[in-house]
């Protein structure tokens, strides 16, 4: 029961983040600036430390999750280029905007959301204390995930109906992940490898899509402050909460 309640809380946090982005879509550059810092913070302060810890627990060679990190980075790069080339939109260098990129990003985040819920359940299989700590970390960054999903899709000019549909999937996935943890046990090694791949996807998105868009507006100082604030927020959430 506690796993279900905590995954529902994580789902509601993501919903709040997505709703915030949609309500403030007329000031999208502000949300994008904040999201860029949040995404970088998730990778640096949440995913990478978890990968390093998981490598030790599973007895893996650390090179393999790093190989998958590079693979995730290049995978989304290839996906983006194929979409842009297919639609003849890459006529000049600069930030690229296309609705299919928004959908691809949301699908990738839905997979991560499933493993967020799964992580809560697995944590409680270890002990209530570990499960509680994992749940706090997950709930803390789920708001960022919801904000990221909606902001990125708005950036790529997806329809509001599409955003709501895919956001609903991102919101539900932690609950499904938590429920699956009650039935199935995943190896530590498999989770670590997945996290490496997803960290690479996030790094590419932040570096090639979110950050360039965040700093195309005239209020560059505000964008920089918001980006730094997003990264600092994730540091506080993952280290102290």
Residue 93 pLDDT: 41
The predicted model scores a pTM of 0.67
The structure tokens listed for 139 are: 């709930």
Average pLDDT of the chain? 77
Q: What is the rounded average pLDDT of the residues 79-98? A: 54
What's the CA gap between 188 and 237, in Å, rounded?
A: 23
CA distance 178 to 18: 21
Task: Find the mean pLDDT for residues 71-98.
Answer: 63
Cβ atoms within 10 Å of 229's Cβ, excluding its own: 15
- The per-residue pLDDT for range 107-164, each reduced to its tens digit, is 777 877 887 888 788 778 767 876 786 787 677 667 777 777 787 777 777 788 877 8
Number of structural domains (the chain) is 1
Token pair in block for residue 211:
């950050």
**pLDDT for residue 4 is more than 50:** yes
| Separation of alpha carbons 56 and 62, rounded Å | 8
Name the residue with tokens 């997806």: 158
**Mean local confidence (pLDDT), 66-95:** 69
Q: Looking at per-residue confidence, does 99 or 158 come out higher?
A: 158
Encode pLDDT of 190-236 as tens digits.
878 888 887 887 788 777 655 665 555 545 677 778 888 888 988 88
In angstroms, the CA 196 to CA 72 distance is 8
Cα(168)–Cα(148) distance, integer angstroms? 14
Domain of residue 121 covers 2-240
């Amino acid at each position: 029961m506690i796993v279900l309640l905590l995954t529902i809380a994580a789902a509601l946090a993501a919903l709040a983040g997505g709703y915030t982005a949609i309500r403030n879509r007329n000031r999208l550059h502000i949300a994008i600036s904040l999201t860029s810092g949040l995404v970088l913070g998730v990778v640096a302060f949440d995913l990478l430390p978890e990968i390093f810890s998981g490598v030790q627990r599973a007895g893996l060679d650390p090179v393999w999750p790093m190989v998958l990190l590079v693979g995730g980075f290049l995978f989304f790069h290839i996906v983006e280029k194929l979409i842009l080339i297919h639609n003849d939109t890459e006529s000049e260098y600069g930030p690229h905007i296309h609705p299919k990129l928004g959908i691809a990003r949301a699908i990738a985040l839905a997979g991560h959301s499933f493993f967020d819920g799964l992580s809560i359940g697995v944590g409680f299989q270890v002990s209530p204390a570990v499960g509680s700590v994992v749940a706090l970390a997950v709930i803390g960054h789920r708001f960022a995930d919801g904000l990221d999903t909606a902001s990125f899709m708005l950036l790529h000019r997806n329809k509001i109906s599409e955003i709501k549909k895919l956001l609903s999937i991102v919101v539900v996935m932690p609950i499904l992940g938590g429920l699956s943890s009650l039935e199935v046990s995943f190896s530590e090694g498999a989770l670590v490898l997945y996290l490496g791949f997803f960290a690479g996807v996030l790094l590419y998105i932040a570096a090639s899509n979110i950050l360039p868009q965040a700093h195309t507006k005239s209020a560059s100082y505000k964008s920089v402050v918001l980006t730094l604030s997003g990264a600092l927020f994730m540091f506080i959430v993952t280290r102290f909460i």
